Amino acid sequence: MSAFPIIRIITKLLIPYILLFAFYVQFHGDYGPGGGFQAGVIFASALILYGLVFGLDAIKKVAPPIVIEKCMALGVLVYAGTGALTMALGGKFLDYNVLEHHVLPQWHVPSGQHLGIFLVELGVGITVTAVMTMIFYAFAGRKQVQ
């Protein structure tokens, strides 16, 4: 048990609010300041805070490195896949307007632009969260040189 139980309790109280704010920034990024990068950094900061307070082994149980590695690739795949999808549908790379008429009309998305930007921002957010968390793992897990 840590010598600082108050810090552990405050951290457990803060992390849900940090994650909620990250989701707000992610999903509000289409309409105002924010988006994938900012949300990814905020989300990763919650994970890093957990790791700093509870230790590297604890955070690796919550977010195993293999899952983080897969998320790095998944985010890039979502971003690049959105661009490849727009090209496959007859548009240019990241020309989101073609998504409006080709991607499941029953979804009732406001526009192809909105769907495209949402998918790109989602991919960026996933990638940034994973990369920042993996950087933390790399630095926190290194051994001291004598």
> What are the backbone dihedrals phi and psi of residue 141, each rounded to the nearest 5 degrees, phi first?
-95, 0
Token digits for 61? Answer: 């149980």
State how many domains the chain has. Answer: 1
Q: Given this model, what pLDDT does residue 106 score?
A: 62
Distance of CA 107 to the CA centre of its chain: 23
Burial of 76: CB neighbours in 10 Å, binned 0-12, 13-18, 19+ = middle
Mean pLDDT (the chain) is 87
Side chain identity, residue 8: R
In a domain, 113, yes or no: yes
The Cα–Cα gap between 4 and 122 comes to 36
In a domain, 16, yes or no: yes
Count of alpha carbons within 13 Å of 2, Cβ hemisphere only?
Answer: 12
Q: Which pTM does this prediction carry?
A: 0.86
Q: Given this model, what pLDDT does residue 104 score?
A: 58
Q: How is residue 103 annotated by DSSP?
A: S
Structural domain for 109, as ranges: 5-140
Task: Please determine, for residue 2, whether its predicted confidence score (pLDDT) is greater than 60.
Answer: no
pLDDT digits (tens, 9 = 90+) for 54-96: 999 999 999 999 999 999 999 999 989 988 888 888 888 777 8
Q: Given this model, what pLDDT does residue 98 score?
A: 81
In a domain, 146, yes or no: no
In a domain, 77, yes or no: yes
In a domain, 13, yes or no: yes
In a domain, 75, yes or no: yes
In a domain, 74, yes or no: yes
In a domain, 145, yes or no: no
